[in-house]
Homo-oligomer: A and B are copies of this chain.
């Protein structure tokens, strides 16, 4: 059957994944070594490789778990009725997640492989695609809003999308650099207020 036999694992796999997430989130894929991981997880090399395959597979699993636990706000934004609502949900929640008190500041999807070795290009491409999908989501909503006369047609949908994405990704960088949650939320509030006054004028 699917009954588990053999010597049981000597460590908590979920906890290990969580600690690996801390490292990758705080530093990035290529500058975290397997030795850093084994030291933080408290296991030997072979245990780590037996449990996760290799460094790239471990990172992929970390990204999946990260998206599940901290990336829900993107889906929430995707369900919003307008581009403006989506942007507000996206940016406010991102500001929260990028400044969690017991987690590295910043965003794993934005800065997990900003500087990568040529050999790690597939990982960087995967993260870039995830970022691009956020931009595309906002752009699609802006297109629909303009078609439905729910938003002024002064700027192209892509400008709206890139503006939102720039704030999203820029805030991630600022969080890494030490900006507080209040700092980021202040910048987001300012952006949303200006969005409103532009639409009302």
Contact = CB atoms under 8 A, between A and B. Distances in A.
Contacts of A191: 163, 191, 194
B198 A193 contact: yes
A170 to B, nearest CB: 3
A183 B195 contact: no
Interface stretch (A41-49, A58-66, A171-179): A171-179
Contacts of A156: 186
**Copies of the chain in the assembly:** 2
A31 interface: yes
Interface of A: 27-31, 110-111, 113-117, 128, 131-132, 154-156, 158-160, 162-163, 165-171, 173-174, 176-179, 183-184, 186-187, 189-191, 193-195, 197-198, 200-201
A171 B177 contact: no
A162 B187 CA distance: 6
Given A166-B174, A194-B194, A29 B158 contact: no
Contacts of A176: 114
Contact of A31 (B110, B117, B190): B117
Given A115-B29, A197-B198, A169 B174 contact: yes
What 4 A-B pairs come out closest when comparing CB atoms?
Answer: A170-B170, A28-B115, A166-B170, A159-B186
A163 B189 CA distance: 9
B155 A165 contact: no
